[in-house]
Structure 1
């Protein structure tokens, strides 16, 4: 099993080049076609024109966005030629939260970037990354806003809780798992009080992976009852030298995670290595 098509989201942020490099390297590794989709923040022209003196701002913003888009397009095609990867460039029109999901559903893997609060250009749309993960219908590999990760996937950490989302993430990540040097399957508080049969043991799903030729180390961690699961995951990933985390996204409702917090929100905010999310 492999990825035959990879899509990378590109915008005007300072991290777009690094994201393109990661996606191109993955396309080369998996012999996949790479599609670059440019979708960036666009001011609401109707609102701006109502405000006196803003028409020139809108025109200038459009000019700069076009220049940045054209430069990225040149870089995109240069990367394809350098790595001998087949691909295509798409300039997506319209509101990014609506424009990106239809393109994403055509790919085996989507590469996107973590929102960088220190870079205003990384704002594409309200909760863009969260909406992409929820709406794409495909696994989303999210790249942290700092660091270089073009060679990620040598040591993979799977966050396993037996949920539908975790199961889907595990199978969506199979091309990475099949090529990894080390795979660690982590369960947290596996002995917590739950209805019988609610949680699938890590050893059982490891056997399923073994049938695919993936050798897995199963590790169980008992954390404090009130310890945020996301922080435990990040700590374990750092301690074990993992360079990719695989996890299900929003096993709880987004409203619950917004109010109560959750592993998905923690990793979206504080990830230190790329994370492959599936919902």
Structure 2
């Protein structure tokens, strides 16, 4: 298995260019085709139509967005050519939360970013990242809104709890794990005095990926009462010097509400390194 199609979400935010660079870096590593999906937030035109004095504002907004779209498309084609990979540009004509999962289903890996609270252009829809992870059916590589990551996945950390989602994430990440210099598997001990399994937690998945040529170090961390699993995993990633976290994305839809697992919610809000999530 390898990544032969990488889809990168592009918008008018400041992080669009670094996100594209990360996608092209991966495309060069795996000789993959790159799809640039331009999907942004478009306000409801009817809202402007019924508000006095706002029609001209909407027209200006639309003109600015058209200019920005042209700039990012030109950048995409120039950077694809410079990287020496093949690529195609797609512009979504529906909300990003619908378009991105749809187009992602025909990709091997999806590259997106964490929302930047200081950049309004990074907002493309409510729960965009969560929806992409939970409904695309593909592994999603999420980049933090701060920092640059020129050497990604030299030391991935696998957050392992034996679940279906974690299993999916590990196998989806195998192309990256195979090319890594070092791989760490971290499990969280939540027994708190209960009888423990005599087997080493994480040993089974370590043996599994070892058959794929991936050697991994296994460690377990005990969780304190006041610390969440997500916070502990973030701390372990820092301690280990990991430059990528591989983990399951947990959540489901309940009526009109998106319910996320605690660790998933923590990472989406506070990630400090790129995170590959699968559901």
Q: Map residues 22-171 of structure 1 onto 2, 5 A cutoff.
A: 22-171=22-171
The answer to whether the 8 A contact 1:97-1:131 is kept is yes
> Following the alignment from structure 1 to structure 2, what is the Cα–Cα distance between the partners of residues 193 and 259?
29
Deviation at 1:193, TM superposition (A): 7.2
Q: How does 1:229-268 map to 2 (within 5 A)?
A: 229-250=229-250, 253=252, 262-268=262-268
TM-score (norm 2): 0.93
User: Matched residues in 1 for 2:10 and 2:246: separation?
Assistant: 22
Report the equivalent of 2:21: 21
Which stretch shifts more, 176-185 or 260-269? Answer: 260-269
Unaligned runs of 5+ in 1: none
- What per-residue deviation string (whole Å, max 9, x for no partner) do you get for residues 35-57 of structure 1? 00000010100111111111111
Whether 2:202 is the aligned partner of 1:202: answer: yes
- TM-score with structure 1 setting the length: 0.93
Point out 4+ residue stretches in structure 1 off by more than 3 angstroms.
Answer: 190-197, 252-255, 257-261
> RMSD of the alignment, in Å?
2.1
**Offset at residue 254 of structure 1 (A):** 6.2
C-alpha displacement of 1:196: 9.3
Per the alignment, do residues 200 and 132 of structure 1 end up closer, same or farther by CA in structure 2, a change over 3 Å counting? farther
Instruction: Tell me: CA distance 1:200–1:136, structure 2 relative to 1, closer, same or farther (3 Å).
Output: farther
Partners of 2:261 and 2:221 lie apart in 1 by 20
1:158 Cα deviation from its structure 2 partner: 0.2
Which deviates more from structure 2 when the two are superposed, residues 99-108 or residues 223-232?
Answer: 223-232
* Shift in Å, 1:204: 0.8
Deviations 1:71-113 (A, max 9, x none): 1111111111111010100111111111111101010000001
Q: Does 2:180 match 1:180?
A: yes
Select between 188-197 and 33-42 the one with higher mean Cα deviation: 188-197
Deviation at 1:201, TM superposition (A): 3.1
Distance 2:46 2:16 in 1: 28
| Paired positions, count | 276
Q: What SS is found at the alignment partner of 1:214?
A: coil
1:63–1:200 distance in 2 versus 1, CA, 3 Å: farther
Query: Which blocks of at least 5 consecutive residues in structure 2 are unaligned?
Result: none
Q: Is the 8 A contact 2:190 2:223 kept in 1?
A: no
Task: Give the whole-Å Cα distance in 2 for the aligned partners of 1:132 and 1:241.
Answer: 27
User: Could you tell me how far 1:150 is from its partner in structure 2?
Assistant: 2.8
For residues 91 and 187 of structure 2, what CA distance do their matches in structure 1 show? 41
Contact 1:162–1:200 (Cα < 8 Å) also in 2: no
